[in-house]
Structure 1
Amino acid sequence: MAPKRHDKRDDYWRVDSRLNLMSQSDLRYHLSETNYPSTNGLSKERLLGYAKRVQRGQLCYHQCSDSELQKFVRDRGLRVPGDQFRKKAYIDALEKADLVETFAKFVNLAPELRTLVYGYYLDEFEEQLDCPTQPPLARSCWLARKESLPLFYDRTRLNIKLDVNWASRCLQFDAQVMSFVLGLSDDTWSMVRKLRFETDLDPEGHDGTLVRTMMQRMTIVIVTYKSKESTWGIQSSLP
């Protein structure tokens, strides 16, 4: 089976993949820049794990007191091997639990609190995204989808790239953008509030005269929002 093609539209919500490309010394320096405690002697795998914890905004247990660690373990019902307190064992147990932590009663929170959680989640994304897939949160359950998607599209400016087709004298979507545009339902398009169109046309460049002439004769793709019908439509303005 052929490997699945990497889709850059998914990158915006992922933990920074550049961390995986860093050397051991680069990871150690990166952590020192975030005021992380001493990482001398740690393996690259361990350093990478801590770098990802920092990026996720997770607590650094190395900075906690012994009593705080004991309370965290007790409150979360974790089991730590050994009868006596060992700080490393407690830290390892908490970090391991963080990797599989779930909150099954999230839907029992008041809607106002759930909205706050969605906001914190969405604030981690850039405001302008290139034809993004919907965030994983919106695919977790029907309630999260219903409540989070309107917030996602309200906060996000969709950047639409248009390619120049000189032969047919028109601006057109590339295959990825077209897949994105056609893949959204009418209900989803009605949530979109911010669009930005981008093209490589440069009237002030060296070929400015040619570009201005072609633009005068060009078919321009227009996306309009019809408020009464609550849908987005795609049309062309004929030359």
Structure 2
Amino acid sequence: MFDRYWCLDKYNNINMSVMKARLQALDGQKTGIPFSRQKLVDYMQRIDRGLLRYDLCETNELLRFAATRHIAIHGYTMNNSKAVTVRRNHAALVNQLRRADDQATFPLTRLPPELRVRVYELYLRDFRIVLKAPTQPPLARTCRMLREEVLPTFYFRNTFVVSLQIHTGDARSSGTLLRFDLDSIAFLETLSPDHLSRVRKLHFNIMRATSTRQQRGTLAEVIVSLTENGDPRTSIKSATLPRGLLWKKRVIAGTEKVITRMESKDGRAILKIGDVYALRSALEVVFH
């Protein structure tokens, strides 16, 4: 199970010149770009969080921000216009406004339900497009009310990857077998029937079964989409075609046959754990 998908990007694999170029493109200027890597990462993370870059603001603007937010400013001198004092005043204001951002709270539970749902959608929108065997998001682990409201949106809005490993048959069975990897099994076991029924997209990642993850390599990716009223019931896409167009047609035919048998409610296919294993079996037949 993976539990870091919701964390801020640490920019470990991005060099400083790339980060500086991004900041310059966003700000339209070179001023205020820090020279240390840690400060650059802090700036990038502030942008990811949708926060202001106070260092680019004038001192009077910072004072207005502080007054509007009722933030008490310490260490600021009004009656001294020396350049050093001005710089110190500006730095003090920037630091205190940043600390206020980090300590800010939001009365989420006091919002009307329809606004809370909109907040959840915006929160989940910043996750990766495809999630590999994820744990439940932190917002769903704060209290029972948020858990009951966040998780349905979480499972409905995201695409979830389940990995299938190829095994050769033994003495009791012939042909090719597809088995879920341990992470996928752990993920599927965490899903209640209600949450599973809300999943709209499953991404089957078919790979070789080897001793190390680095050696596995993806052979095929099949995305099963369960759409809403007025749209095709399902669309299945193979990102890689190891056995050509005929293979793709057999994948589509096999998986669509499973989906047409799914229980539906108000025109929406209801995904059950048996359907997930039936989809795996349909893919397994193609690899025989």
**TM-score, normalised by the number of residues in structure 1:** 0.75
Aligned length: 221
- Residue in 1 aligned with 2:20? 28
Question: Which of 88, 92, 95 is equivalent to 2:95?
Answer: 92
CA offsets, 1:160-209, max 9 Å, x none?
2211111353111001111111122223212222223232456964xx59
Alignment of 1:86-235 (within 5 A): 86-103=89-106, 105-168=107-170, 169-200=176-207, 201=219, 205=242, 208=243, 226-227=263-264, 232-234=272-274, 235=277
Cα RMSD between the aligned structures?
3.4
Matches within 5 A, 1:39-50: 39=32, 42-50=35-43
Q: 1:20 to 1:102 in 2, by over 3 A?
A: farther
Secondary structure of 1:34 counterpart? helix
SS at match of 2:104: coil
CA distance in 2, matches of 1:197, 1:44: 38
**2:48 is aligned with what amino acid?**
Q
Unaligned runs of 5+ in 1: 1-6
Once the two structures are TM-superposed, the CA of residue 27 in structure 1 deviates from its matched residue by 3.5
Partners of 2:95 and 2:125 in 1: CA distance: 29
Structure number with greater Rg is 2
C-alpha displacement at 1:47, in angstroms? 1.9
CA change 1:180–1:40 in 2 (3 A) is closer
CA shift in 2, pair 1:150/1:113, >3 Å: same
What is the percentage of aligned positions where both structures have the same residue?
A: 33
SS of residue in 1 equivalent to 2:199: coil
Kept in 2: contact 1:187–1:231 (CA 8 A): no
Counterpart of 2:65 in structure 1: which amino acid? F
Tell me the equivalent position of 1:81.
74
**2: CA distance, partners of 1:159 / 1:61:** 40
Secondary structure at 1:190's aligned position in 2?
helix
| 1:18-41, Cα deviation, whole Å (9 max, x unpaired) | x13445444333422332652456
2:57 corresponds in structure 1 to 64
Give the gaps of 5 or more residues in structure 2: 79-88, 171-175, 208-218, 221-239
How far, CA to CA, are the matches of 2:181 and 2:241 in structure 1? Answer: 24
CA contact (8 A) 2:32 2:56 kept: no
